[in-house]
Amino acid sequence: MSKTIAKIDKNQCTGCGLCSEKCPKQCILMFEDEEGFRFPKIDNAKCVGCGLCMATCPASTAADVLYSKYNRSYYCGIIKDKEVLIKSSSGGVFGVLAEYIIRNGGYVCGCIYTDEMEAVHILSNHKQDIEKMYGSKYVQSRVEHCFPTILDHLNSNDMVMFTGTACQIAALRLFLGKEYSMLYCVEILCHGVPSPG
């Protein structure tokens, strides 16, 4: 089991769930710890030790390649529309980008609160769903269930905008395994998230 995510220290894990999504034996499940943070647990009886979980874990060195080969540009802005700005947490840029993506036939993946006040990512091209994505949620969100659907849309040459924390974007890009010209990632500056608990 030395090639598995069992090696990842709990304090390094971001709870992205990529290991669970990538496991070919479906032997990794995400559980909440005593503080409410999500953490993977391996069913050792099913695990074959293939190492795919570790090879794609953003908390391992797997993500290093994502950020070493690109020159990055950074932008900031604020929307002039006061109504949209009031609904937003970070200058209203998300709304402008999301509107552009949807207007051009694409999909947006962002975080919403469910009726049970659980922070989860959804993928949608409906304006009413996009409006639920406005505003920061300030808790760890569930995101991994969106990855296969995002891949399907990208393979169909649909534009997809994904917004999330750096570790969530790294998890998505590691899940995809290659670059897609129709994928636009919007990173939320983050210094760690509190648990939903």
Interval 158-184: pLDDT, tens:
999 999 988 899 999 999 999 999 999
Q: How far apart (Å, rounded) are the C-alpha atoms in residues 161 and 153?
A: 11
pLDDT higher than threshold 70 for residue 188: yes
Tell me the mean pLDDT in the region 5-11: 84
How confident is residue 138, by pLDDT bands cut at 50, 70 and 90? confident
pLDDT in the model for residue 76? 76
pLDDT at 167: 87
pTM assigned to the model: 0.83
pLDDT at 197: 73
Detail the DSSP E strand segments found in 130-196. Answer: 160-165, 183-188
Candidate from 64-78, 89-103, 133-147 with smallest mean pLDDT:
64-78
pLDDT at 69: 57
Worst-scoring range by mean pLDDT, 30-44, 76-90, 101-115? 76-90
Q: How much is the pLDDT for 55?
A: 87
pLDDT at position 67 is 66
Burial (CB count <10 Å: 0-12, 13-18, 19+), residue 191? exposed
pLDDT bucket at 72, cuts 50 / 70 / 90: low
- Quick check: 70 pLDDT over 80? no
Burial level of 20, CB count in 10 A (0-12/13-18/19+)?
buried
pLDDT at 46: 93
Do you know the residue count of the chain? 197
What's the mean per-residue pLDDT of the chain?
Answer: 87
3-state secondary structure of 188: strand
